[in-house]
Amino acid sequence: MTRKKITVIGAGNVGATLAQRLAEKNLGDIVLLDIIPDMPQGKALDIAETGPLCYFDSAITGTNGYEETKDSNIVIITSGVARKPGMSRDDLLTVNVGIVKGVAESVAKTSPNAILILVSNPLDAMTYVAYKISKFPKHRVIGMAGVLDAARFSAFISMELGVSVENIHAFVLGGHGDTMVPSTRYTTVAGVSIEELIPPERLKDIVVRTRNGGAEIVNLLKTGSAFYAPSAAVVEMVEAILKDKRKILPCAAFCEGEYGIQNLFVGVPVILGSNGIEDIFEINLNEEEATALHKSANEVELLCNKVDTLLGH
C-alpha cells in the first residue's frame, strides 16, 4: 500500500516540530519545505536520524522547491511571520497575505487534490486567502485553531480542578483570537458541565486566559510564539483525516448559513474524515453564546474585507 504524503510548508518551530510529531506517529511520508537554502534539508535529516530511536519508517524529505511536494494528500501551511510581543495576530495580516497567496498558488498547481490545513496567523483570514487563491472546494480547506484553543482551555481546567486532561472535553467556537468563544455550558469533566464544578468568577478568569493563550506564551518567550501545542493540534487533525475517524473537532470552516454565518471561515465543530470536512456539526446555542459567536464572526469579516482589498478581489 502506498504511504500517504504529507507536506509541511515552513520549517520553523511549528513546521519542524510538526514534521517530527507526524513521523513519530508513522502517518505517512513527509516533505518539509522552506525558502531558506539547506535549512529544511538539515532539519529533515536530523528528524530522519531519530527514526531508529523513535521507531518510525516515514521518509522525510527537506526541500526549497515544490516539485518534491507533488501529489501530496495533505498540505499544512505554517509559513508566515510569527508574532512578537505587543503584536496582535491582525498586525501580521498584510505580510502574511502575500506569503500565503504565493504558497496557495504553488500548492494548487502541484497538489490539486490535497486537503489544505492552515496554521499561519491571523488564522481565519489566512484560511480565507488559501481558499480564494487555491479555488479548492470548501471541505478541503481547513483552519487549525479550535483544536489548539480547546487544548489550552482543557489544560487550564485540568490545572484548576486537579483532574486528568483525559476526562475533559472542551468546546470552543469563533475566530482564533480575542473574540473566541470558549463555551462553559458545553465543556464537561467526565460528562459534568464545568459550570457545576468551577465558581463563575474563577471560570471567567479561565475563559480570559484561554482567549489570551497565544499572547501569554509570546510574552514569556519574547522572541517567538507557541509551537509545541499548535503542532500537536495539527497532528490531531491530520490523524482524523488520514484514518477517516470522522472525529468531531473545532476547526475554522467555511460557513454558508450554519450558525447564521455566511461566506466566512469561523471556528465551528466539524466532522473530520477522509474528505476533510465531512460536515459542520450544528448545536443549539443560547442567546449569549450566539451573540458572542456572531461578534467573533464580525471581527473575522472585517479582516476578510481587508484581505479582499489586498488581493484586489
Which distant-in-sequence residues (6+ apart) come within 8 Å of 214 by Cβ? 83, 89, 225, 226
Per the residue annotation, which of 139, 176, 294, 313 is the catalytic one? Answer: 176
CB 105 within 8 A of CB 135: no
Scan for cell 483570537, then name that residue. Answer: 177
The Cα–Cα gap between 187 and 35 comes to 41
Which distant-in-sequence residues (6+ apart) come within 8 Å of 294 by Cβ? 260, 261
What does the angle CA 156 – CA 161 – CA 162 come to, to the nearest 5 degrees? Answer: 95
Helices within the chain (DSSP H only): 13-24, 39-48, 51-54, 93-110, 123-134, 146-161, 200-211, 213-221, 228-242, 287-311
Per DSSP, 81 falls in state: P
294 is an active site residue? no
Q: Which of 222, 242, 266 lies closest to 122, judged by CA? A: 266
CB 165 within 8 A of CB 154: yes
- Between the alpha carbon of residue 257 and those of residues 64, 142, 222, the distances in Å are 40, 17, 40
Q: What is the full DSSP assignment across 114-151?
A: PEEEE-SSSHHHHHHHHHHHH---GGGEEE--HHHHHH
Enzyme catalytic residues: 176
